[in-house]
Structure 1
Amino acid sequence: MNYERPQELLKPVKRRFILLTFTAALLLELLPLPLGSNRWLPDFVGMLILYWSINQPRRIGIGIAFGIGLLADVISTGLFGQHALAYSICAYLVLLRQRQLVMLNLGQQTLVVLLLMMNIQLIMALARSITGSAFPGLSYFLPPLMGALLWPLLSKLMLLPYHSDRH
């Protein structure tokens, strides 16, 4: 069993670092990308909501997830409130079982993240369908799969500041 990861996560995370990660993810949403690339790109903001809710639950909770979701709604120029609703529900689900989630290995966490990212997409699809939009198709659920595949990389990248403090 790998005991390094939980010990590293007990160290305090600077608020500036959390803010920087969310700023970078929101700026990624603003990048002009080739047509069709959004069909496979994961929701980086949603991934960060999940990451910080799992690893820093006292700093990132339901209210912060809702506020960041509103910012994502403004940036994406989509249905106002859909990201906020999806992110706050997923943050709530994470916080229900946060103590168990933080102790899972990376493979198990990846499966949970896949389910939570699917949940985010499903909530947003339901919100759109309530307003009369057509179902976007099954390709709409490809980004959560890509996000789950990138979860181990995101987890390792977020630990880099801890490793640089050791030296």
Structure 2
Amino acid sequence: MSLDHPQQLLKPVSLRLIYLTFALALLAELLPLPVGSMRWMPDFVGLLVIYWAINQPRLVGVGSGFVIGLMADIATAGLFGQHALAYSITCYLAQIRQRQLVMFNLGQQSLVVLGLLLGNQIIMVLARMATGSAFVGWHYFIPPVIGALLWPLLTKLLLAPYRQKN
């Protein structure tokens, strides 16, 4: 970031857009996909929790991550509370360094998002294993890599409606 070229100012974010993005991400979790394709699909709800926690920390916080996680648990019919725990911890970790993260370029943010998504998956694996489930395999850690690769596209897509017209 150069000091002689300030970043572009953005319009205020609508709470309606935040709700809409989470609803679409939860609907994406419900799509009937072929069995093999689920290995490659990133956690869109987790990506949005991270995105909104970084870009709108006053509107989406740890409590929001917990509630959205409970909704994701209900939608996926998984272990109740695993997404809620993972999203609230991930949201907390994103928000404690939020001021630094917004100053990073998209490549640096992608690396941080990769770490957060991997942490998210580790929390969910540990929650399942604590209840007696077997380890799901190393392929479970492929979607965070894909999510990190999609981070720049997601950021550009969600910022597009809020750019000021000059």
TM-score (norm 1): 0.94
Return the offset for 1:65. Answer: 0.4
Cα 1:39/1:2, change in 2 over 3 Å: farther
Aligned partner of residue 142 in structure 2, secondary structure: helix
Unaligned runs of 5+ in 2: none
CA deviation map 1:37-68 (0-9, x unaligned) = 11110000000000000000000000000000
1:50 matched to 2:50 = yes
Name the CA distance, whole Å, in 1 between partners of 2:69 and 2:130: 19
Name the CA distance, whole Å, in 1 between partners of 2:6 and 2:87: 25
Cα 1:157/1:41, change in 2 over 3 Å: same
Unaligned runs of 5+ in 1: none
Return the offset for 1:6. Answer: 4.8
Return the offset for 1:2. Answer: 6.3
CA deviation map 1:2-41 (0-9, x unaligned) = 68895345x3100001111001000001110011211110
Contact persistence 1:39–1:139 (CA under 8 A): yes
Aligned partner of residue 154 in structure 2, secondary structure: helix
| Aligned amino acid, residue 39 of structure 1 | R
List 4+ stretches of structure 1 deviating above 6 A: 2-5
How many residues were matched structurally? 165
Contact persistence 2:12–2:162 (CA under 8 A): no
CA deviation map 1:133-165 (0-9, x unaligned) = 0001100000000000000000010011124x6
Cα 1:25/1:67, change in 2 over 3 Å: same
Structure with the higher helix share, 1 or 2: 1
Aligned partner of residue 68 in structure 1, secondary structure: helix
Corresponding residue for 1:95?
95
Name the CA distance, whole Å, in 1 between partners of 2:108 and 2:31: 32
Contact persistence 1:6–1:103 (CA under 8 A): no
CA RMSD of aligned residues (A): 1.6
Name the CA distance, whole Å, in 2 between partners of 1:89 and 1:129: 18
Name the CA distance, whole Å, in 2 between partners of 1:77 and 1:43: 15
Corresponding residue for 1:7?
8
1:72 matched to 2:75 = no
Name the CA distance, whole Å, in 1 between partners of 2:70 and 2:146: 23
1:16 matched to 2:25 = no
Between the aligned residues of both structures, percent identity stands at 64
Name the CA distance, whole Å, in 2 between partners of 1:8 and 1:112: 24
Name the CA distance, whole Å, in 1 between partners of 2:7 and 2:127: 37
